[in-house]
C-alpha cells in the first residue's frame, strides 16, 4: 500500500465526478515542511505556530519567529501556507505563561488561544509583525484559533492590520496581500455564520476541538474516546449545515482536524460538500486514493438521505456503499 500511495505523489486528487479536491497538510515545526513535497500536497492548510513556543524554554523572540515563518514560506515555494496565530493555553500550556494562567478547572474551555492573545496584546503584536515581515512580497494567510464570536475575529484582524500599517509607515516591504480567516471549533460560532462569513477570506473547521465541545467530551481522555464517533449523525448534520452556508457564501472552507486524514471520515466530509482537507502528511496518499475512487455527487445524494434517517451504524453504511461501488 505504501508504495502505491507514494506513486500518487504527483497525481491530482480528482474524484470520479470530476471534482478537484484540495489536499493540504498540517505542520508545526520547520522539519514538518518537508512533508509537503514528499506527500505531494497542495499547501500547508494549518501551520500551528504554537509548536515553536511549546518546544522552547523561554518566549521565542520576534527574530526567531520571523526566521521560522520565512523558512516555512521559502520551503513551501508557490504553495500556500496558512499560519494559525498562537493556540497556547489549555492542553498546550507553556511554562513561561503558566503562572499567569493560574489553575483552571477546565483548561480546554479556559484562557487559551485567541482569548489569551487578545488579553496579552504584546504577544499577538510581535507575532503579527514577524508574520508580515516574513511574507514580504508574498501572500500572507493568517488564521485565528478558538474564535467564539465575530467580534473576536474583528479585534484580532484589527490588531494585525495595525501592525501592517506601522510597518508600512516605517517603509518595510509588505506582503502582496494579507488574507484573513478563522477556525470554527467553538460550536457557538456556527450560529453566527451569516454575520461572520462576509468578513472572512477563508474558514477552517477544527474538528478535534469542535467534537470535544459538541459532545462535552474531553479530547485528551482515553476513557471517553469511544463514547462518540466522528461519523455520528450529530457531527455530520452540524458540518453539513456549516458546509452549505460557506458554499453559498463562496468562502473556501477546509477541515483541518484529524478526522480528515482517515479515509472513511474524509469520504463522509466530501459527501457533505467539503472539498478542502488539511491532514497529517502520512495520510495524503490514502486520502488521494480514496478521492480518486469516489463519485462524490452520488455520495452527496446518499448522505442527504442518511442524515434525514440516520442508519444505526454510519461507518458500516459508508463502508458498504463504497464497497458496492468499487466492484
Ligand atoms: C482542531 O481543533 O481540530 C485543530 C485542528 O486544532 P488543534 O488540534 O491544534 O487544536
Ligand atoms: Mg483546536
Which of 171, 185, 196, 72 has the alpha carbon at shortest distance from 131?
72
Query: 48 CA to middle of ligand 2, Å?
Result: 10
Mean pLDDT of 25-29: 96
**pLDDT for position 140:** 98
All three cell numbers of 137: 512580497
ipTM above threshold 0.85: yes
> What confidence tens digit (pLDDT) does each residue in 85-143 have?
999 987 787 878 766 667 788 888 888 899 999 998 999 999 999 999 999 999 999 99
Question: What is the share, in percent, of the chain residues with pLDDT greater than 70?
Answer: 98
**pLDDT for position 101:** 61
> What confidence tens digit (pLDDT) does each residue in 220-278 have?
888 988 877 899 999 999 999 999 999 999 999 999 999 999 999 999 999 999 999 99
CA distances from 223 to 73, 89, 109, 218 (A): 40, 23, 19, 9
- Ligand 1, CB cutoff 6 Å, lining residues: 46, 48, 87, 185, 206-209, 256-257
Ligand 1 pocket: which of 84, 86, 183, 220 to mutate (most atoms <8 Å of CB)? 183
Ligand 1 atom nearest to CA at 204: 5
**pLDDT for position 95:** 79
Which of 23, 130, 11 has the alpha carbon at shortest distance from 73?
130
The residues, any chain, with a CB within 8 Å of residue 34's CB and separated by 6 or more, are: 75
* Nearest ligand atom owner, CA of 28: 1
Ligand 1 pocket: which of 185, 189, 254, 274 to mutate (most atoms <8 Å of CB)? 185
**pLDDT for position 99:** 62
Ligand 1 pocket: which of 116, 206, 217, 230 to mutate (most atoms <8 Å of CB)? 206
Hey, what long-range contacts does 1-4 have (CB within 8 A, 24 or more apart)? 1/286, 2/285, 4/285, 4/289
Query: 166 CA to middle of ligand 1, Å?
Result: 31
Ligand 1 atom nearest to CA at 46: 5
Query: 210 CA to middle of ligand 2, Å?
Result: 7
Nearest CA residue ID for atom 3, ligand 1: 206
Query: 137 CA to middle of ligand 1, Å?
Result: 29
CB 27 within 8 A of CB 46: yes
Provide the pairing of β-strand 139-144 with 253-255. Answer: unpaired
Query: 83 CA to middle of ligand 2, Å?
Result: 14
Mean pLDDT of 296-303: 95
Which of 215, 230, 214, 310 has the alpha carbon at shortest distance from 264?
230
Instruction: Give the Cα separation of 189 and 117 in Å (integer).
Output: 18
**pLDDT for position 168:** 97
> What confidence tens digit (pLDDT) does each residue in 161-220 have?
999 999 999 999 999 999 999 999 999 999 999 999 999 999 999 999 999 999 999 888
Which of 194, 246, 221 has the alpha carbon at shortest distance from 91?
221
Residues around ligand 2, an ion, CB closer than 5 A: 185, 206, 209
Among 16-25, 58-67, 88-97, 318-327, where is mean pLDDT lowest? 88-97
CB 86 within 8 A of CB 68: no
* Nearest ligand atom owner, CA of 256: 1
Mean pLDDT of 279-294: 96
CA distances from 52 to 39, 279, 323 (A): 23, 19, 43
Query: 61 CA to middle of ligand 2, Å?
Result: 24
Query: 208 CA to middle of ligand 2, Å?
Result: 6
**pLDDT for position 47:** 98
**pLDDT for position 191:** 98
Ligand 1 atom nearest to CA at 185: 2
Query: 225 CA to middle of ligand 1, Å?
Result: 16
**pLDDT for position 106:** 86
The residues, any chain, with a CB within 8 Å of residue 258's CB and separated by 6 or more, are: 207, 208, 279, 280
* 3-class DSSP string for the chain: CHHHHHCCCCCCCECCCCCECEEEEEECCHHHHHHHHHHCCCCEEEEECHHHHHCCCCCCCHHHHHHHHHHHHHHHCCCCEEEECCCCECCECCHHHHHHHCCCCCHHHCCCHHHHHHHCHHHHHHHHHHHHHHCCCCEEEEEECCCCCHHHHHHHHHHHHHHHHHHHHCCCCCCCEEEEEEEECCHHHHHHHHHHHHHCCEEEECHHHHHHHHCCCCCCCHHHCCCCCCCCHHHHHHHHHHHHHHHHHCCCEEECCHHHHCHHHHHHHHHCCCCEEEECHHHHHHHHHHHHCCCHHHHHHHHHHHHHCCCCCHHHHHHHHHHHHHC
**pLDDT for position 77:** 95
Ligand 1 pocket: which of 44, 48, 88 to mutate (most atoms <8 Å of CB)? 48
Query: 171 CA to middle of ligand 1, Å?
Result: 36
**pLDDT for position 229:** 87
Amino acid at each position: 500500500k505504501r508504495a502505491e500511495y507514494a506513486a500518487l505523489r504527483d497525481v491530482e486528487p480528482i474524484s470520479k465526478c470530476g471534482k478537484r479536491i484540495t489536499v493540504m497538510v498540517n505542520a508545526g515545526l520547520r522539519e514538518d515542511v518537508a512533508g509537503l513535497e514528499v506527500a505531494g500536497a497542495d499547501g500547508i492548510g494549518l501551520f500551528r505556530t504554537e509548536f515553536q513556543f511549546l518546544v522552547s524554554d523561554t518566549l521565542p523572540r520576534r527574530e526567531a519567529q520571523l526566521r521560522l515563518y520565512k523558512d516555512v514560506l521559502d520551503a513551501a515555494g508557490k504553495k500556500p501556507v496558512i499560519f494559525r496565530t498562537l493556540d497556547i493555553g489549555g492542553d498546550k500550556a507553556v511554562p513561561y505563561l503558566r503562572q499567569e494562567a493560574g489553575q483552571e478547572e477546565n483548561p480546554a474551555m479556559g484562557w487559551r488561544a485567541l482569548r489569551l492573545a487578545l488579553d496579552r496584546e504584546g504577544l499577538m503584536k510581535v507575532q503579527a509583525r514577524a508574520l508580515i515581515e516574513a511574507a514580504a512580497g508574498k501572500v500572507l494567510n493568517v488564521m485565528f484559533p478558538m474564535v467564539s464570536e465575530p467580534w473576536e475575529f474583528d479585534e484580532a484582524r484589527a490588531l494585525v492590520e495595525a501592525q501592517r500599517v506601522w510597518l508600512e509607515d516605517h517603509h518595510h516591504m509588505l506582503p502582496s496581500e494579507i488574507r484573513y480567516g478563522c477556525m470554527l471549533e467553538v460550536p457557538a460560532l456556527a450560529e453566527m455564520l451569516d454575520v461572520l462569513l462576509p468578513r472572512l477570506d477563508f474558514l477552517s473547521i477544527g474538528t478535534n476541538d469542535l467534537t470535544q465541545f459538541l459532545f462535552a467530551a474531553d479530547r485528551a481522555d482515553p476513557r471517553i474516546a469511544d463514547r462518540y464517533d466522528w461519523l455520528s449523525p450529530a457531527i455530520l448534520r452540524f458540518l453539513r449545515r456549516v458546509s452549505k452556508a460557506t458554499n453559498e457564501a463562496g468562502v473556501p472552507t477546509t477541515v483541518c482536524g484529524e478526522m480528515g486524514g482517515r479515509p472513511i471520515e474524509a469520504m463522509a466530509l466530501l459527501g457533505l460538500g467539503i472539498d478542502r482537507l488539511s491532514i497529517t502528511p502520512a495520510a495524503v496518499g490514502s486520502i488521494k486514493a480514496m478521492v480518486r475512487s469516489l463519485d462524490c455527487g452520488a455520495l452527496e445524494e446518499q448522505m442527504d438521505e442518511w442524515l434525514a434517517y440516520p442508519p444505526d451504524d454510519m461507518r458500516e453504511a459508508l463502508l458498504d456503499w463504497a464497497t458496492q461501488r468499487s466492484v
